[in-house]
Amino acid sequence: MGKRIVSVLLCALLLCLCAGCGSYKANASFTYLLEQNVTSLDPQTASNSAAELVISSLFEGLCRIDEDGEAIPGVARSWEANSDSTEFTFHLRRNAQWSDGTPLTAQDFVYGITRALSPATGSTPGDLLLIRGAKSFAAGEGDASTLGVVAEDEHTLIIRLEKSNPDFPALTAGAHYMPCSQAYFESCQGHYGLSSQYLLTNGPFTFGSAYAWQTDSGKRSITVSRSDTYRGERRVQAASVTFLIDYDEAYETDPVTALTSGEVDILTLTETLAQQAQEAGCGVIALDDAVTGLLLNPASDKLADATLRSLFFKTLNRQDLLAQRGDAVEAQGIMPACVLWDGEPYYAPGTQAYTLQDTEAAQGIPSLLRQLDLEEMPSITVLCADDPESVAVVNTFLAAWNSALGNAFNLERVSPSTFQSRIASGNYEAALFTLRAGGTSPYDVLKSFESTAVPTLLESPEYDQALESLTFDLASYQTAEQLLQEQYVFYPIFQDKTYYATSPDTRGITVAPDQSVSFIGAKKR
């Protein structure tokens, strides 16, 4: 089976001046910065990446995703599929427990999945819709007995699918597949997941007190402590992890110092900052989980028309863009290298799943302008990071458009935090944007463009319907991808990496392509 392309760069540590200072020890506390606020830690309704990251420490699904992007045992110690990968049998650890010491059973997974799909829950996670009977149940047209999720006994769970999906076990690492104790959930009377007092967990960490989740403005944080009842394959080394929601701005303006001082233990950095962190003695992890390209905002009045948006893609010279990076790896489409189908690269060799250059596209501008009652092509501004490479790529956009579209166009350089906030608020016309996979399946990438995604990159009922109609086979993924391409929202250019840097005094923190960060093996010196 092909391996997901994940390169891990471990830099040399600074030489120690005293004997024994290089030893790393367990029982340390760690700090991580969240980019979004967290209002609920209910796995069945999790709606943003910050909540899902914390949930991955508090809960454990049937499987986990490791740093190589492979599905590894979680609560399920093993599993097998039938001959056509439409039925999976998961065998649970017999010593799996909830944080209150009660046994965790297959029925807890049945209830969690059923609850996530229930119309009463108010959300329909698309990654669950490949389960047999899920679509009709979520639409209120059937009862739970019609779902293809069955507890054969306390430690055996069977999940039946509508269509073959050999990569299904990886999906069970997602938040919506987490277990839920029905008795505990009902005892919470509507408060489940809304505070540290109303959550029963089964992961490597849990809440140590009623004050572990602070929600006062300016002091917001979530602290999780090592669970005494967790019995996973690996012993938990870290004593606690604090996820900061409100934190010192200096952590963003000078992230390398934040790491070397030990105030923060792991950060996502640009390539340039990651190099600086490595030179300062930090560990660096690079994941091949991203694609960088031109993002257009269809919610902008200037870019509301899809045909008009297409001109900004069709007039680009791809080779000129690729030449702006000395080590450029061309993207075949929106899917990063970590995304596979049936254990093989999602894209076949030679695939070009992006808008091709059309040297005659500009000839249609006069009629389009008359149709839209415009005098000229709208002048747009492209948002980008304030670094030479990004500026060079955007200037290549502008040069192509200035030549072909008969107007002047602009760029705006901003800091990483400003860039994120502008994209999140929709306050941009165009941007040089890096799209992260968010998982290891094609669906994880495609759902980045549904109307309910955070940030919202596209609001298209037609595209949303296509996602809801997915049958989770290769053909349906390709159909949805083609529809997205025809929206002219994202033009992929470069296969890219996401860089994480860890404090020089830290080791054992791992990161997976689904953006989960594991502190299970984390130690400090």
Is position 256 within any domain? no
How high does pLDDT run on average in the chain? Answer: 93
Alpha-carbon torsion, ordered 400, 406, 408, 411, to 10 deg: -30
Give the residue carrying structure tokens 């739970």: 144
Give the separation between CA 461 and CA 211, rounded to whole angstroms. 42
Mean pLDDT of 264-288: 95
236 and 326 co-located in one domain:
no
| One domain for residues 231 and 330 | no
Residue 7 clears pLDDT 60, i.e. is over it: no
**Same domain? 33 vs 72:** yes
Q: Report helix, strand or coil for 434.
A: strand
Residues 73 and 114 in one domain: yes
- Examine the domain organization and report whether 306 and 182 are in the same domain: no
pLDDT at 406: 87
- Alpha carbon distance 283, 500 (integer Å): 8
Residue 209 and residue 352 in one domain:
no
Q: Do 140 and 200 have their domain in common?
A: yes
Report the predicted TM-score, pTM, of the whole model to 2 decimal places.
0.86
317 and 235, same structural domain?
no
pLDDT band at 425 (very low <50, low <70, confident <90, very high): very high
Per-residue pLDDT averaged across 140-169, rounded? Answer: 94
* pLDDT surpassing 70 at residue 266: yes
Q: Percent of the chain having pLDDT more than 70?
A: 96
**Cβ atoms of residues 465 and 453 within 8 Å:** no
Q: Which H or E run includes 420?
A: helix 416-425
Which residues contact residue 301 at a Cβ distance below 8 angstroms, ignoring those fewer than 6 apart? none
Q: 281 falls in which pLDDT band (50, 70, 90)?
A: very high
* Least reliable range by pLDDT among 44-58, 116-130, 385-399, 510-524: 116-130
Residue 187 covered by a domain:
yes
CA–centroid distance for 282 within its chain? 24
Q: What is the pLDDT of residue 21?
A: 44
- Average pLDDT on 73-83 reads 98
Co-location of 236 and 378 in the same domain: no
Rounded CA-CA distance 106/97 in Å is 12
Domain assignment of residue 504, yes or no: no
**Residue 84: which CATH number?**
3.90.76.10
Per-residue pLDDT tens for 194-236?
A: 999 999 999 999 999 999 999 999 999 999 999 999 999 899 9
425 located within any domain: yes
H-state helical runs in 87-216: 106-117, 134-138, 168-171, 182-187
Count CA atoms closer than 13 A to 378's CA, side-chain side.
Answer: 21
* CA-wise closest residue to 261 among 282, 241, 238, 245: 282
Q: What is the pLDDT of residue 143?
A: 87
121 or 15, which is more confident?
121
Give a yes or no: residue 280 inside a domain.
no
pLDDT score of 6: 36
Domains in the chain, number: 2
Do 184 and 315 lie in one domain? The reply is no
Residue 8 lies in a domain: no
pLDDT attached to residue 343: 83
Whether 492 maps to a domain, the answer reads: yes
| Domain membership flag for residue 446 | yes
Q: How many CB atoms lie within 10 A of CB 22?
A: 12
* CATH assignment at residue 474: 3.10.105.10
Strand runs labelled E in 93-182: 149-153, 156-160
Q: pLDDT above 90 covers what percent of the chain?
A: 82
Range of the domain at 300: 288-498
Residues 314 and 197 grouped into a single domain: no
Q: What is the pLDDT of residue 22?
A: 58
**What was the pLDDT predicted at 395?**
98
Co-location of 475 and 404 in the same domain: yes
Helix ranges, 68-207 (H): 106-117, 134-138, 168-171, 182-187
Residue 241 predicted with pLDDT over 50 = yes
Taking a C-beta distance cutoff of 8 angstroms, is the pair 311, 488 a contact?
Answer: no
In the DSSP assignment, the letter for residue 103 is: B
